[in-house]
Amino acid sequence: MTWHKTPAAETGSLLIRGGLVIDPAQNLEARRDVLIEGGKVRALLPPGKTPRGAEKAPAKILDATGCWVVPGLIDMHVHAREPGGEAAETLATAAQAAAAGGFTTILAMPNTEPALDNPALLELLQAKAERDSCVNVLFAAAATLGRQGQRLSDIARLAAAGAKAITDDGRAVADAALARRAMEWAADCGLVFIEHCEDAGLSRGGLAHEGPAALKKGLGMTPWAAETSVVLRDIALAELTGCRLHLAHVSARQSVAALAWAKARGLLVSGEVAPHHLALCEDDVPGQDANFKINPPLRGKEDRDALAAALQEGTLDAVATDHAPHADRAKAAGWDAAPPGVIGLETAASVILTRLVHRGKLSKKRFVESLSSFPAQLLGLKSKGALKPGMDADAAVIAPSAFWTVPETFVSKSRNSPFIGARLKGRVRFTLVGGRVVHAL
Amino acid sequence: MAHTLWNRKDLLGLEGLSRPEVEAILDLAAAFKKSPPDPKLKGRFLAFLFSEPSTRTRSAFETAALRLGASVLGFSATASSLAKGETLLDTVRNLEALGVSYIVARQETSGALDAVAPKTQASILNAGDGRREHPTQALLDLFTLREKKDRLEGLKVVVVGDALHSRVARSNLCGLRTMGARVVFCGPRSLVPEGFARLGAKIERDLDAALKGADAIYCLRLQLERQKDNFFASLADYRAAYGLTARRLALAPEAVVMHGGPLNRGVEIDDAPADGPQSAILPMVENGVYVRMAAFSLIEDWRRRHDLA
């Protein structure tokens, strides 16, 4: 079942003029003017050409000179915190933060309070998002009731109601037999199963990477094997069940190796990586600053570099922010007591451009694939992830060379970012959802 | 009628039965349905050996035996010796020593009867062994379907639900394929493993798609205790995906609706399809008597040919 933001309100035409269109789905990296009508991409025109068949000039023109024009970014890992965590974020504010970062579609995780584990709550949240959110908000539903890892949730009914993925994100489905059943039902319903790979036993006692930095600071630690052991188990279950498996926030180089092995076996397994894991490592954590406390944790340099290489060569498929807003008060509780997680929607594109693309570690093509085309394909969004004529006019216009410094204030309701004060190169100028401009600088 | 092509002491399963053998049972059952039988089993004793509860199957066997004139021992071996730890074989031999010719047995263990049958002169009729076979159920299903459609060859039969734990599904798969029908198993991966494809069933996950062009829909009983092990999430979720509703039945207007009972109404089957004009559920119960009479009769012929009382 498809669900998408209705672009009905926006029927006027619009031309994004003078930009470099990067659209891997049509193998395009060239200067084109993008003509939008009725919320859809109407045509890609060589620069200066009059729109063919257009009876009159476009009602509105966006100047994209010197900019990249890319399919709207899709973040398949967002904690929108509604319901239950509205002090930190809401569907509306998460959507605004997304728009500011060039994201036109986000997948909200089900670890809310209560958990999104039933079709009634899903329908309510979808209606709310439809009304309040300026970008497309899709929902992943919990694999087990209350994310308690005991009883399967009603996956068939959740799928029929519009859920786009099944996951207990925030924790793994610990019981392997239950994980098997969840994957089987997800597969039967045509949904991807997303796993937060973490062995709760191995990670008990601390959320700093088990490496020299945390050892020196005397922090409680979690080893890479807490992640990789579940990655390996789930790869086996994916083969057993035939389920499409997606690994959330891969952080360890050993997990990357496991993923490469699964792909070599021809299994339907993919992986995402968060911008903070690509840009930072254990050495970058200042003291016990809780804005750097993340699950999974910032790991070693070797892991960071292996993740970047895997993203470029395609072993890792997607960049997803794991946007995890927390109120100042919660993060002020100190390293041990603070909840893990960082926000990322507003900085993701700029961080990837600055740390990877501009340093020659990631191609423009892979940038767009990992942030748009792949997530669209994985979530079954047929009219998104590319700028082909007839598809939804979801787009981001990015000034790749614009410098900015990440301020202490955010569009998001929270500001727990490890990038505050960072000087970044590349910034989102415009974000369009269904042809409507939802962000402009 | 010389049914010399039936050359078996027991009826343990449909696996291995030839098409003429199955047809012999179905044809004889049809004859019994038309005209009352001779009391062919007069003077013969029959005992039940049930380690699982049963109402329908046991009553149908008993009715069939009584109509043929047999005497039915009024006890259930379960409650007595098996519960005290006596082996199945010892119990069977004791019954044999008492002069019992027919033992109708239901056992929790798949295949339990196969080891015992060759070691007794009594004829064993399998009334369900674990998850493996329930031959008389499948025979009455075949009989009823043939009665409704005048043939079995080429029919598309969609079996919906928990095939994994179902002896009815396994026996029907054997029987239907032997008779030339096409069998589709439809259900979730947890209850309909891909492996059934290797056993000759076509696997379909989407019930709406499976129902197109179906000549019969066989709803398997959902054992509610499977929910505890997360084979399915809830009755509502199961019904949403695999329940036979009026809307779904409309996708298969020519299909005979079948269910071996007992029904979980509102779960695997709604009232309208269960009680509507396409339903064969009650005729199945009636036919169960004729099919079992036919089985007794063919085996009795065999016993006489082999000078067994």
A contacts of B237 (beta carbons < 8 Å): 154-157
Interface of chain A against chain B, CB under 8 Å? 151-157, 160, 177-178, 181, 184-185, 187-189, 241-242
Task: Decide if pLDDT at B54 tops 90.
Answer: no
Task: Give the pLDDT mean for B119-123.
Answer: 96
CB-nearest partner of B188 from A160, A185, A242: A185
Q: Residue B124 in contact with residue B117, Cβ under 8 Å?
A: yes
- Contacting residues for A377 by C-beta, under 8 A, at least 6 apart: A385
Taking alpha carbons only, the member of A358, A351, A275, A374 closest to residue A73 is: A374
Q: Which residue of B has its CA nearest to A243?
A: B189
DSSP state of A97: H
A contacts of B234 (beta carbons < 8 Å): 154
Virtual torsion, Cα A402, A407, A410, A414, nearest 10 deg: 140
Task: Using the structure block, give the residue that is written with the tokens 């006027």.
Answer: A12
Q: Residue B183 in contact with residue B200, Cβ under 8 Å?
A: yes
- Our CA-based measurement puts residue B236 at a distance from the nearest CA of chain A, in whole angstroms, of 8
Q: What pLDDT score does B53 carry?
A: 80
Q: How far is CA A49 from CA A19, A32, A43, A57, B29, in A?
A: 14, 9, 11, 12, 82
Pairing of strands A245-247, A269-273: parallel
Q: Which residue of A has its CA nearest to B188?
A: A188
Tell me whether residues B240 and A184 touch, CB distance under 8 A.
no
Tell me whether residues A178 and B238 touch, CB distance under 8 A.
no
Interface list for B 215-274 with A (CB within 8 A) = 229-234, 236-238, 240-241
Task: Using the structure block, give the residue that is written with the tokens 């299994």.
Answer: A267
Active-site residue, from A322, A328, A336, A394: A322
Told to judge if A199 belongs to the known catalytic residues of this protein, a careful annotator would answer no
A contacts of B233 (beta carbons < 8 Å): 151-156, 185
Q: Which one of A150, A155, A183 makes the best mutation probe of the B interface by having the most chain B beta carbons within 10 Å?
A: A155
Tokens for B117, please give them: 């049958």
Tell me whether residues A152 and B189 touch, CB distance under 8 A.
no
B contacts of A160 (beta carbons < 8 Å): 240
Tell me whether residues A181 and B231 touch, CB distance under 8 A.
yes
Tell me whether residues A241 and B231 touch, CB distance under 8 A.
no
Question: What length is written for chain B?
Answer: 309
Q: Which one of B164, B206, B237 makes the best mutation probe of the A interface by having the most chain A beta carbons within 10 Å?
A: B237
Taking alpha carbons only, the member of B255, B231, B251, B235 closest to residue B243 is: B235
Pairing of strands A73-78, A395-405: unpaired
CB atoms under 10 Å from CB of A365, counted, come to 16
Tally the C-alpha atoms within 13 A of residue B69's C-alpha that lie toward its C-beta. Answer: 11
DSSP secondary structure of A316-367: S-EE---B----HHHHTT-TTTSPP----TTTHHHHHIIIIITTTSS-HHHH
B contacts of A181 (beta carbons < 8 Å): 190, 230-231
Distance CA A102, CA A71 (A): 9
B188 touches chain A (CB under 8 A): yes
Q: What pLDDT score does A354 carry?
A: 98
Q: Which residue of A has its CA nearest to B189?
A: A184
Virtual torsion, Cα A294, A300, A303, A308, nearest 10 deg: 80
Question: What length is written for chain A?
Answer: 441
Q: What pLDDT score does B82 carry?
A: 61
pLDDT tens for each residue of B276-306: 999 999 999 999 999 999 999 999 999 999 9
Q: What pLDDT score does B87 carry?
A: 84
Give Dmax (Cα) for chain A: 70
Does residue A186 sit in helix, strand or coil?
helix
Distance CA B205, CA B186 (A): 5
Q: Which residue of B has its CA nearest to A143?
A: B233
Distance CA A147, CA A169 (A): 8
Virtual torsion, Cα A336, A341, A343, A349, nearest 10 deg: 120
State the SS3 of A381-419: CCCCCCCCCCCECCEEEEEEEEEEECCCCCCCCCCCCCC
Verdict on whether the full-model pTM lies above 0.90: yes
- Contacting residues for B136 by C-beta, under 8 A, at least 6 apart: B11, B57, B60, B61, B125, B126, B127, B288, B291, B292, B295
- Could you say which residues of chain A have pLDDT below 50? 1-10
Angle at A372 between CA A369 and CA A376, to 5 degrees: 110
ipTM rounded to 2 decimals: 0.86
Amino acid at position A306, single letter: A
B contacts of A152 (beta carbons < 8 Å): 230, 232-233
**By CB neighbour count within 10 A (0-12 exposed, 13-18 middle, 19+ buried), where does B89 fall?**
middle
B19 touches chain A (CB under 8 A): no
Task: Give the pLDDT mean for B77-84.
Answer: 60
Pairing of strands A68-71, A14-23: parallel
Tell me whether residues B231 and A155 touch, CB distance under 8 A.
no
Taking alpha carbons only, the member of B25, B49, B66 closest to residue B128 is: B49
For residue B187, name the pLDDT band (cuts at 50, 70, 90).
very high
Q: Residue A138 in contact with residue A3, Cβ under 8 Å?
A: yes
Tokens for A403, please give them: 């410098």
CB-nearest partner of A154 from B189, B190, B233: B233
Quick one: residue A229, left, alpha or beta (phi over 0 = left, psi -120 to 50 = alpha)? Answer: alpha
Tokens for A175, please give them: 């019981």
Distance CA B90, CA B100 (A): 14
Helix axes B167-178, B19-34, angle to 10 degrees: 100
Task: Give the pLDDT mean for B21-32.
Answer: 97
CB-nearest partner of B188 from A154, A177, A188: A188
CB-nearest partner of A156 from B230, B231, B240: B240
pLDDT tens for each residue of A391-411: 999 999 999 999 999 999 999
Q: What pLDDT score does B216 carry?
A: 98
Q: Residue A67 in contact with residue A19, Cβ under 8 Å?
A: yes
Does residue A282 sit in helix, strand or coil?
helix
Q: Which one of A123, A145, A175, A181 makes the best mutation probe of the B interface by having the most chain B beta carbons within 10 Å?
A: A181
Tokens for A205, please give them: 């006692």
Taking alpha carbons only, the member of A307, A162, A164, A172 closest to residue A237 is: A172
pLDDT tens for each residue of A178-190: 999 999 999 999 9
CB-nearest partner of A184 from B189, B236, B240: B189
Q: What pLDDT score does A7 carry?
A: 45
A contacts of B241 (beta carbons < 8 Å): 156, 188-189
Q: How far is CA B2 from CA A113, B6, B143, B307, in A?
A: 74, 9, 21, 16
